Structure formats: C-alpha cells, structure tokens
Amino acid sequence: MIGSILDGIKAYGVSFRLLGELGLWRYFFVPMGISLFIAANIILATWGWSDNLGEWIAGIWVWDWGKVTFAVISEILGGVIIFILGLIVYKHLVMALSAPFMSPVSEAIEKHLNGEVGGKLHKRFFPQLRRGIQINIRNLFMELLLSIPVLLLGFVPIIGVASTVLLFLLQSYYAGFGNMDYTLERHMSVKESIQFVKARRGLAIGNGVPFMLLLLIPIVGVILVLPLSVTASSYLTVQELTKETQDEG
C-alpha cells in the first residue's frame, strides 16, 4: 500500500512535462474557472455558516463556568467542520462538472503512451457530464457517510489526532478516485471502475494527497490542482490498464 501511495505521488513529477509537451493546458481553462468559482463560494459559506454552527455547538454547554471559552472554541470548531465538509463538496462538484473537459486530456496521454486510444471514445459533451455526475454523486455520498463519524471521533482526546490523518487519507482517496475515472470511463462501466480503483487504493490515495495539499495554497493551488492531478492520474491509470491487458493476454 505504501509503495503504491508513493507511486501515485511520484506521478506528479511527469505532469508539467506532459502538460507542455502535449499542449494540454488549453483543456483546463474552463475547469480552472469552475474551480475558482466553486472555491470562492465554499469560502464564503465557511465564513457565513461557521458562526451559526458555532452558536449551536456552544448551546450544548449549559454551565456558566467556562461558557465564554467554550463559545470561542465552538466558533473555531464550527468553521473547521464547515470547511472540511465544504472541501468534500467542492472536490466532487469540480470533478463532476469538469468531466467533459478532462476526457481529451486522458485520451491525449493514452495516445502518447500507447500510440492509440483504447476503449469507447465519447465525442459528446453530455454523456461525459452524466458519467461525471453519476460517479461523483456516488463518491460524495460514500465520503460523507464515512467522514461524519471520523469528524465526531475528532472530539475524543488522543484519538482526535488519528482521526485527522484518517480524514485526510479518506479525502485523498476519493480525490484520486475521481481523477482516475476520467480515463476509466472509456474502458469500464461505473461498477467496473469502482472495483478497479478499490483494487488500487494506494494509487488513488497517492494521487489525492498532492491534490489535497495543493488546495491549501491560496488561489494558485485551486488553479493548478486539476491540471497537475488529472495529468498524473491519467498517466498512472493508462499504465495500470496496459499492465492489466498484458497480464490477461
């Protein structure tokens, strides 16, 4: 698993080269705009809703002693929870709406590596968008289902540190999952794609780790996250598909 995670991270090393060599930057202008727009709204929501959630959390403390301190902590905690949930929603919204623009990137990389593009080529906008929405709604539901209990564990002393790491890895996995599906959608059904990524969890996490870290860089991270992560995941996924085909042969 650790080796696969490292392979997923190291794939980012080829991203800038492929982006320039294959002229892929032009495919990312619209997704960059989508990413910036959604990120701005998530930040505004975090700013606006953190106070409301903080007040609700503070209401749990019924005693007078320590009330002010708990209120301050509650406001910070409310902001953190809204921000984490916002990141989850941001990730899947951006990946779903960017799907039609990412397929040409994956196709160009596959042709560069294998000399041809395998699978079923979709030249229409809406089939790609429908697939992106389908896979990301499924992943959003699963990630929220798993993340909420992990967030609650964060309130428990000592265990809270482990929950932070687990939450980061969970978000990384689903980020990598979405990126890998831009290639898999030509080759597999949604069910087959889910099975493929599950068998390669380490690669998905490895692709998602830099994705999540890039989002911590103001503005620049939001702009570069899709070009770098999608190029890296396409490179990895094409290699895995080729390897699987060779093993079957």
Global pTM?
A: 0.84
Question: How many structural domains compose the chain?
Answer: 1
| Tokens matching residue 44 | 């505004």
Distance CA 10, CA 235 (A): 11
Predicted pLDDT at 59:
65
Distance CA 89, CA 216 (A): 16
Predicted pLDDT at 72:
66
- Alpha carbon dihedral 162, 163, 164, 170, in 10-degree steps, equals 110
Distance CA 237, CA 231 (A): 10
Distance CA 72, CA 156 (A): 18
Domain that holds residue 206: 2-248
Question: Tokens 């994956």 correspond to what residue?
Answer: 106
Cα–Cα nearest to 141, from 194, 186, 192: 194
| List of the chain residues with pLDDT < 70 | 50-73, 118-124, 155, 157, 160, 246-249
